[in-house]
Structure 1
Amino acid sequence: MFKIFLTKRSVNEATDFYIGLIERAVASIGKESRRISHINEIANDDIVITVEAKDFVKVQLFKRLNKKINWFQGITPEEAVMMFNSRWRKVLWEIFERITLSQSALNLFVSLEMRRHYKTKYGYRGGHDLIVPCYNKHLSKESFFIKEKYTTPSFVYAGSLATWQCIDEMIRIYKGVEEQLPNATITVLTSEQDKAIKLLEGYGIKNYSVSFCKLEDLDKELSRYKYGFIIREDHIVNRVATPTKMNSYLASGIIPIFSDVVQSFKENITLEEIIRIDPGDTNEMVVSKIVMFEKNKIINPDTLYINYSLLFENYYNDDIYIDALGKQLINL
């Protein structure tokens, strides 16, 4: 049996879908899987799946002979420095990563850039890995045909207000857009509503709304908007990532305005109906791109849906990854 070893911090909205893909891949080869939270639930002939290098090392200490698979969600040592400025966490996670990369029977990466990073940093040789990007939504056709969705410049941001989300830069960009497009609006969907209001008012934003949207209602809410912000710093953490926010926006028929620093998006997302923020662009340049797009680009919902559908067939496609993972699991 395949045992998926999870801790409380392991499962959230983003990871649950990915774990579900693994479970479906196991089922596709006629095998069974079960989510577990205790090492003593692992039998000697089980194949163990972990979703963090730290958990892999923990299982390895007690169940050394079991074959194991690990999903690398991100490059945690670099995240520790970026988000917490913690050098000791960085060193500790580097130990976890090095052990996991060398001893896992199969490594699941979210991008080719992540694999390249591990080859450069640790001398990882590859040969026992698979690329599966992070995503958790399927394309919603009805979201493309909301009345007057693409006729007014409505902007949305959904998520936390953490520093690495570059919220201040996003608001500064929107402020410039609002000054040139007086009918523009921005909606911030977050649990940190008081903080969001303070930020928006601090920048003098006029046409805004702030609210919290329950997870089960988020897709319907997102479908109302034309543009969505995904602003990121040009940093190795972001270059190897595949942010689920991109998938969420595209699935809802939203035109993403995003920092073109995610290597996997460079390689796989070639849509014309997107607004790329190039490294080195000033906020004024970004504002100009958005305003020019809004004034000159006429969005045909039928065409947009067809173009997005092609992306979901080739990049956000469950069947592709279930089949590829199933073949790897058979080999184990």
Structure 2
Amino acid sequence: MKKVLFITTRNILNTSGELRLIKNRAEAMYNQWGVETDYIVFATEKKSASAILNNIKGDMTIFSLNILKPLTLYNQIIKFKNLVIKILKSNDYQCVILSGIGTLSLVNTIKKYNKNIPVIADIHGADEDIKEFAKNKKISKKVFLHSLYNYSKISELKNLKKMDGIFVVTQALAKYLSKAYSLKAPNYYIVPCALNTKEIDSAAQIEYRKKYRKKYSVSSDEKLFVYSGGVSPWQCIEESIDLFNRLNNLNAGKYKMLILSHHLKEIIPLIKNSPNIITDSVESHEVNKILCAGDYGFLLREDIITNNVAFPNKFLEYVQSGMKIITTPYVYDIAEKVVELEIGIIIGFEKDNVSKLDKFIKSNKQFENWGKRKKVLDSTSFETTLADFIQDYKLN
């Protein structure tokens, strides 16, 4: 059986978007092509791999990193290097994937001990998201994050050109990396986080629509707007609520909004006791069913590099649900698909965005467009997006 070694500093020991992409991608390689993935993980706290391995196939070795304990940190790094050298000499793996800050420089060690093994960089977004995250932090944290940003930029500049291939989540991210680091025609593999299934069961979705509209007291002729996500500034929840309220006021309070989130404590003050906004927090496996109750899904993002090159996981869930998507032009790949396949509307943050959205809603366009939606799910499925990677490195 073919095997891949995955080395990462990303957070894959807790539920996160990073874990979701990495886990689902590896599972697709195993289920579709029989390719196993083993993991070497750097974590800031010591954790057991046993619970994680219930969700991830493959062996996992965890190295604990604590900069406050230099001797322990040094010993962990030595153990890691010895393990990598041993692994590379064994020739048990057909490919190595490097993912997260601090891992890209390992390409030099890997090529030193096994010059023939392909090394792939796994890039989830632009480094500018580190600076965005630092904006509202304390000075000490801000200094640390800016130092981390500078280190990551230098590491990518030095090491991306040495890679045999690069995983990215969007075409926009590939263009960004090529321009930022003057990369000449690298092998990009555009692999966003796909859904577990690319199928659309329209009959089941009709039943879910009835069930959850009844649960949330939404009548069959009412329009329901949905926001599903957290409270991070880049998710624009305040802008989504404001846009809904202005639209609803324009239509004499006839619309309703459903907010699905695990952060209701922070969200409820933003609602200001609006009788037309419903909130709920549910398990992740129920979200896709609830989305079928909606008519329009909010996916607003601001015009920053982090958003420009991103592929929000929520997009495909909205596509599969049948909702029309309300988004901005600033997530480039998403906006392109929404326009091309006519599955939503692109609006900005200008004052006239309400009238533009209102006109769109009242145009009574067909909602589902199941054929076009299935096309999106097919093109972004791991079966499709990983095919070239599997073939190029003879992993099938």
Map of 2:140 onto structure 1: none
Which AA in structure 1 matches 2:306? V
Q: Secondary structure at the match of 2:102?
A: helix
Which residue of 113, 124, 127 corresponds with 1:73? Answer: 124
Which residue of 98, 102, 105 corresponds with 2:164? Answer: 105
> Relative CO higher for 1 or 2, CA cutoff 8 Å, sep ≥ 6?
1
Q: Closer, same or farther in 2 for the Cα pair 1:217/1:52, shift >3 Å?
A: same
Partners of 2:326 and 2:347 within 8 A in 1: yes
The answer on 1:197 being equivalent to 2:231 is no
Q: Closer, same or farther in 2 for the Cα pair 1:27/1:252, shift >3 Å?
A: closer
Q: Which deviations, in whole Å up to 9, do the C-alpha atoms of 1:124-161 show, x marking residues without a partner?
A: 11333222233335343236523489842111111111
Map of 2:133 onto structure 1: 83
Distance between the aligned counterparts of 1:165 and 1:193, measured in 2?
15
Which residue of 324, 327, 330 corresponds with 2:391? Answer: 327
Distance between the aligned counterparts of 1:208 and 1:266, measured in 2?
26
Map of 1:316 onto structure 2: 380
Q: Closer, same or farther in 2 for the Cα pair 1:134/1:233, shift >3 Å?
A: same
The answer on 1:9 being equivalent to 2:11 is yes
The answer on 1:176 being equivalent to 2:235 is no
Partners of 1:53 and 1:72 within 8 A in 2: no
The answer on 1:272 being equivalent to 2:342 is yes
Residue segments in structure 2 that go unaligned for 5+ positions in a row: 42-60, 62-79, 136-144, 214-218
Q: Which deviations, in whole Å up to 9, do the C-alpha atoms of 1:29-59 show, x marking residues without a partner?
A: 5654323434426611233223324233357
Q: Secondary structure at the match of 2:103?
A: helix
How many residue pairs get matched?
A: 323
Which AA in structure 1 matches 2:148? R
Map of 1:56 onto structure 2: 104
Matches within 5 A, 1:1-332: 1-7=3-9, 9-10=11-12, 12=15, 14-19=17-22, 20-25=24-29, 31-37=35-41, 38=61, 39=80, 40=83, 43-44=87-88, 45=91, 46=93, 47-57=95-105, 64-66=112-114, 67=117, 68-76=119-127, 78-85=128-135, 86-137=145-196, 138-142=198-202, 144-145=205-206, 146-147=209-210, 151-181=221-251, 182-201=253-272, 205-269=274-338, 270-278=340-348, 281-282=349-350, 284-299=351-366, 301=368, 304-313=369-378, 315-330=379-394
Distance between the aligned counterparts of 1:29 and 1:209, measured in 2?
43
Distance between the aligned counterparts of 2:226 and 2:195, measured in 1?
19
Identity over aligned pairs, percent: 21
Q: Secondary structure at the match of 1:330?
A: coil
Q: CA RMSD in A?
A: 2.8
Q: Closer, same or farther in 2 for the Cα pair 1:100/1:297, shift >3 Å?
A: farther
Partners of 1:156 and 1:227 within 8 A in 2: yes
Distance between the aligned counterparts of 1:69 and 1:166, measured in 2?
33
TM-score by length of 1: 0.86
Q: Closer, same or farther in 2 for the Cα pair 1:325/1:23, shift >3 Å?
A: farther
Which AA in structure 1 matches 2:265? D
TM-score by length of 2: 0.73
